[in-house]
Amino acid sequence: MEVEQIAELVNSMQKEVLGEQAVAEVDLQNVIDVGKTMLDATDIDNFTKKLVDHVGRVIFVNRPYEGVAPSVLMDGWEYGSVCEKISADIPEAEENESWNLIDEQEYSPNKFYQPKVEAKFFNKKVTFEVPRSFTENQVKSAFSNITQLNGFLSMLQTTVENSMSIKLAGLIMRTIDNFIGETLNSGSDVKAVNLLKLYNEKFGTETPLKANEAIYTPAFIRFASFIINTYIVRLRNASKLFNIGGKERFTPKSDLHLVMLNDFYTAAGAYLQSDTFNEVYTALPNADTVPYWQGSGTGYTFDDISAVNVKISSGGTSVSKKGILACMFDRNALGVANLDKRVTTYWNPKAEFFNNWYKMDAGYFNDLNENFVVFYVEDSE
């Protein structure tokens, strides 16, 4: 199994999240696993380098079709590393010969119809650790009693947990950011929807609405709500249009995740719903909201918080786009799988201190065969 060291990445990511540096391109090629159809020579254990990795989880794409979503943490497993995802294509129809019988013609029932099944393997994990040393005897002189000492040690423990939480949240967002980049790079205006372009084409004037004005314009918000709500229904129906792999997929309402930029979602309430009598007809759908997609930059400007600047995992193409307002996706499209948080401890008897290493491993994946749609605003050239 391929395991990447990403300490440098998560430290840089933390600076973006905390506002210490501007949003910059992040290379996600070795972080996000987009799966492969066959295991290869790299899928071996990391101890002997000889043992072939075993499948630890098999997922069947088996959903009842009803015609008719950011916590993305998934379960883990103890043995095996590979997550195998198996799907089957929708079969084609043929003529029903029962109603087209011809005298003395032979009708053979012996034809074999092989199902078209595809297996995709996800076998990538990233890891980092946060080290922290603890002492007791050397620091007792700074406190009056054991209660104060314990309070101090508890504070140090909390800072480590906070560090881990910030980094995990950032990696979850990078998992979403990569799929946004993949979708933008697909070149499809059905999956990557420029709401501003659609609005200006529909209600065009001599002075088109600009991207930096859109989320403060009630008429645009109403139009954006209309388009986003139509996509919720569209994704419930089987289609090849809403996933990069061109597979027959549908996303029931219960499996749909909708994530919106908080400034956009809040603007709808401030500029639209506050003076609307029947707000149910113009409200944006319920969604998870995020303050930014990649980071706040140094000033929380709209250009910073709405930006995605990544080198996508499937090929390394650089994708940079501002004005991302929302995305919606199937619960099986992306996730954090097999999360393993643990602590190893070592007592140094000579210098009398403990070293703790807080470790985190997980697999962050995108399945490009599942539905994912991005909504953004961009001025026309």
pLDDT of residue 378: 93
**How far is residue 319's CA from residue 321's CA, in Å, rounded to a whole number?**
7
Residue 110 banded pLDDT, cuts 50, 70, 90: confident
- pLDDT higher than 50, residue 141: yes
Residue 319 banded pLDDT, cuts 50, 70, 90: very high
47-61, 265-279, 313-327, 343-357: segment of lowest average pLDDT:
47-61
Q: Where are the alpha helices (DSSP H) in the chain?
A: 7-17, 146-185, 195-202, 211-214, 218-234, 262-271, 302-305
Q: Where are the alpha helices (DSSP H) in 18-145?
A: none
Asked if residue 320 lies in contact with residue 181, where contact means CB atoms within 8 angstroms, the answer is no
Mean pLDDT (the chain) is 82
pLDDT of residue 158: 84
- pLDDT higher than 60, residue 97: yes
For the segment 60-75, the average pLDDT, to the nearest whole number, is: 49
- pLDDT higher than 90, residue 321: yes
pLDDT of residue 278: 47
pLDDT of residue 69: 31
What angle separates helix 218-234 from helix 262-271, to the nearest 10 degrees? Answer: 120
**How far is residue 312's CA from residue 323's CA, in Å, rounded to a whole number?**
18
Amino acid at site 373: V
For the segment 146-169, the average pLDDT, to the nearest whole number, is: 84
45-49, 98-102, 111-115: segment of lowest average pLDDT:
45-49
**Residue 239: which region, alpha, beta or left (left: phi > 0; alpha: psi -120 to 50)?**
beta
Asked if residue 295 lies in contact with residue 162, where contact means CB atoms within 8 angstroms, the answer is no
107's tokens: 């009708």
- pLDDT higher than 80, residue 274: no
Q: Which residue has the tokens 């008429």?
A: 219
Higher pLDDT, 201 or 127: 201
